[in-house]
């Protein structure tokens, strides 16, 4: 079955860029969106961005000025960049394949913003 796995640094310095990759195995995002969601104790689950397999993107307005999402041509990897991070961006970041719902999800990766 389709599985997703997040990868990237677990520690990012304030003001730097957080970069994560989601690798899809057992399938691709063709016909679907690749999405990023993060979870913090304080704000719960927060949708960050989605990219359709055609390349069309959607961003949460609360993060739009700092976020970019991209998809590789094989449709088996998509990436997240979040610039100018602060401690408030410390969270577990999940990737998910989505249409009208998120399924499946990756296991999540904790990213801590600290000097």
Partner 1 sequence: DIQLTQSPSSLSASVGDRVTITCQASQDIGNSLNWYQQKPGKAPKLLIYDASTLQTGVPSRFTGGGFGTDFSFTITSLQPEDIGTFYCHQYDQLPITFGGGTKVEI
What residues line the site for partner 1 (CB under 8 A)? 44-47, 50, 58, 60-62, 94, 96, 100-103, 105-108
Nearest approach, Cβ of 102 to partner 1 (angstroms)? 7
Q: How far is the CB of 82 from partner 1 (least distance, A)?
A: 16
Q: What is the CA radius of gyration of the chain?
A: 13
Least Å from the CB of residue 95 to partner 1: 10
* Cα–Cα distance for residue pair 47/94, rounded to 1 Å: 10
Residue number with CB closer to partner 1 (84 or 103): 103
* SS3 call for 87: helix
Residues 6+ away with beta carbon under 8 Å from 35 = 47, 48, 49, 50, 51, 95, 96, 97, 98, 102
Toward partner 1, which CB reaches closer, 15 or 54? 54
Nearer to partner 1, 100 or 114 (CB): 100
Total Cβ atoms within 10 A of residue 61: 6
Shortest distance in whole angstroms from residue 107 CB to partner 1: 6
């Amino acid at each position: 079955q389709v599985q997703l796995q997040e990868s990237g640094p677990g520690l990012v310095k304030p003001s730097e860029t957080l970069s994560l990759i989601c690798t899809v195995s057992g399938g691709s995002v063709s016909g679907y969106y690749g999405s990023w969601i993060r979870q913090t104790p304080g704000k719960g689950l927060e949708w960050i961005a989605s990219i359709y397999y055609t390349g069309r993107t959607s961003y949460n307005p609360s993060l739009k000025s700092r976020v970019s999402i991209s998809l590789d041509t094989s449709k088996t990897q998509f990436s997240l960049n979040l610039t100018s991070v602060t401690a408030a961006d410390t969270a577990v970041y999940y990737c998910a394949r989505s249409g009208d719902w998120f399924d499946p999800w990756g296991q999540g990766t904790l990213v801590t913003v600290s000097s």
